[in-house]
Structure 1
Amino acid sequence: MALQRIVKAKTQKGKRILEQKESKIYENVKTAMFIKGGNTSLAVTQVLKELHMLKKPHAVMFKKKNITRPFEDHTSLEFFSERCDSSLFLFGCHSKKRPNNLILGRMFDYHLLDMVELGIDSFKSLFAFEGVKCSLGVKPCLIFSGEAFENDIEYARLKNMFIDFFRGPVVTNVRLAGVEHVISITTADGKIYIRNYRILLKKSGSRTPRVELEEMGPSLNLAVRRVHLASDDLYKKALRVPITAKPKKRKNISRDAFGTKLGRIHMEKQDLDKLQTRKLKGLKKRKSEQRANASRAKKTKTVSEES
């Protein structure tokens, strides 16, 4: 059994860095590494740059080339992950056997969890589209289309990886004017189509604006090549959530299909004879009824005394 080296901080800055890397109840926004392989084409380099622009500020771009093959040996990626405190990576390379190659992957506890190899069939740059682009660091709206994302385990895991990669920070409230970016990911016939749109809010004559989508790029057509998935036990361990992070369940409160909150109230049995109602003339008893009730009550009293 290999001994694990315990790293101790010698300065206050090093202490803060180690504290940031420690496990947390609520994890930070996932950072992505963009890594160039030993040999890259112009298309791969441009894709890495533009996806890095979309992922900013939670992204790290490696300037130097790294001669590594993730499917044969992923130790260097695990080293970079621990060094940069990044749990996502996008590796780009180019060869005769696998031209214009992208490898999308993610880590768990600085060890490889799963990764998918994608080939670039066609690419249209961000700068090939006219018009204004969305703001930097905007949280995108993700749209997935295609039956494979629901029925195929590999495509379902790939969908989960795309959500991890593009989701951005977790927010509780969303401002309508702040929703500017839409990423549409479609699968059909073994291909992945990624399109980026900018949301335009235009006048509609009412309080609700008319929404239009304008393609802003980049546009990618990808083909799935090789897939490396984590085992069921490791994947289940990666999905484990601490008890303190789970929302506390409130008793007797539920929601229906439309999201309306419903509550159940438990009350003691009420005596409706003593219930105070609104005093109206029409509800008053007549004098004859009052006399009959009084005499009936008097008779029952005498009978009970005699018995």
Structure 2
Amino acid sequence: MLPLRQIKPKTARTKRFLDNKGPQINENLRTTLFLKYTTCSDILSLVLTDLHALKRPLAIKFTKKNDIHPFEDPSSLEFFSEKNDASLMVYASHSKKRPHCLTFARFFDFKVMDMLELLVDPETMRTLAQFKNAKAAVGLKPLLSFSGSAFESPTANAYTLAKSLFLDMFKGSEVKEVDVEGLQYMVHFSVDEAENEQAKPVIHLRTYLLRTKKSGSNLPKVELEEMGPRIDFRVGRIKEADADMWKESMRKPKGQEAKTKKNVETDVIGDKVGRIHLGKQDLGQLQTRKMKGLKRSRDVVGAEDVVGGAEEEGNNLVEEAAKRVRVEA
């Protein structure tokens, strides 16, 4: 991994500009850049238009074609990323070997971190305009859902990378609370089950409007209406992230870690669990329950007192007799 370039500012204005582009405690919203290769099919142009419509306003689309080969030389993509302050990129290209190909790239410090190729199926592709219904407003956060065992694989593969890229692309800003009225549409990703090792499952992208209707109770009835676009992807080449770059990108800044409390933990469900340490207990001072059956009865106590008094009186008589004997002698 090449060392990251360091630029020393010469003026206060340049310093403010570099500080704004540099690492932040709270990251900026992820902007996506849409580019085209010198040969781009009409299908890919429609796909880019629809993805750009879903991503707005955090999207920049270029119409000029560029002669770039991301997997051979990504330096041009890194230039566009730094110039437009974009951390995500969708690059459309069409060739005989890889028809209708979309390359999703993710950047860290304006360097390519990982990439994934997804080939669009032109037979099943449907655009936003082909669905004659209302569309979601611009800038709303969508609901994201993933279904399929390939997305939850314990080992990293193309499908886990696709899930990570789609989450970064569509999740928008981080919010603690969401107004229910703002949940207007959902983006659903599903993957088929693998029938054999050679054929890779297809990824299906579907977008639905959320319609709420009266249900006769406090909770409304929710129905889904397909809004578009409808796209099916076949997985192509991938470029995994470098271990050092991935570790650096996942590093949390100081001050963001939650303060840990001694003997207080959070379980998997999210509940707080506390642990209490007690000193050594003296069981001899333990207060037990008093039972009537363990008490001595009055008859037993009186008999013992009588026997004890008789023994004491007999001992006194013996001592007096011994004294008389000594005196007479």
What TM-score does the superposition give when structure 2 sets the normalisation length? 0.75
**Count of residue correspondences:** 268
Q: 1:209 & 1:46 partners in 2: Cα distance?
A: 35
Aligned to 1:20: 20
2:163 corresponds to 1:156:
no
Give the gaps of 5 or more residues in structure 1: 269-307
SS of 2:23's partner is: coil
1:247 Cα deviation after fit:
2.3
1:115-194 equivalence runs, <5 A: 115-122=115-122, 123-151=125-153, 152-154=155-157, 155-188=159-192, 189=194, 190-194=201-205
Letter in 1 for 2:75: T
Gap change, CA 1:6 and 1:243, over 3 Å in 2: closer
> C-alpha distance in 2, partners of 1:251/1:178?
40
* Secondary structure of the structure 2 residue equivalent to 1:126: coil
**Corresponding residue for residue 49 of structure 1:** 49
SS at the partner of 1:245? coil
Could you tell me how far 1:8 is from its partner in structure 2?
3.5
Q: 2 CA distance for matches of 1:249 and 1:218?
A: 45
- 8 Å CA contact retained: 1:9, 1:18: no
TM-score (norm 1): 0.80
> Among 244, 254, 277, which residue is 2:255 paired with?
244
Aligned AA for 1:85?
D
Shift of 1:243: 2.8
2:208 is aligned to: 197
What does residue range 1-307 of structure 1 map to in structure 2 within 5 Å? 4=5, 6=7, 8=9, 12=13, 16-122=16-122, 123-151=125-153, 152-154=155-157, 155-188=159-192, 189=194, 190-251=201-262, 253-255=264-266, 259-261=270-272
1:55-107: CA deviation from partner (whole Å, max 9, x where unpaired): 11111111211111111110000001111111100000111221111001101
> Following the alignment from structure 2 to structure 1, what is the Cα–Cα distance between the partners of residues 241 and 268?
35
The structural deviation recorded for 1:250 is 3.9
Flag the structure with larger Rg.
2
CA RMSD, 1 decimal: 2.5
Higher deviation after alignment, 227-236 or 187-196: 227-236
Who is 2:324 aligned against?
none
Please state how far the C-alpha of 1:203 moved relative to its aligned partner. 1.2
Question: In 2, are the aligned partners of 1:185 and 1:192 still within 8 Å (CA)?
Answer: yes
Q: Distance in 2 between matches of 1:88 and 1:130?
A: 30
Q: Distance in 2 between matches of 1:211 and 1:183?
A: 15
Inter-CA distance 243–227: structure 2 relative to 1 (3 Å threshold): same
Percent identity for Structure 1 against Structure 2: 41
Give the Cα–Cα distance (whole angstroms) in 1 for the partners of residues 113 and 222 of structure 2.
39
Structure 2: state its 5+ residue gaps.
Answer: 195-200, 280-329
Q: Partner amino acid for 1:34? A: F
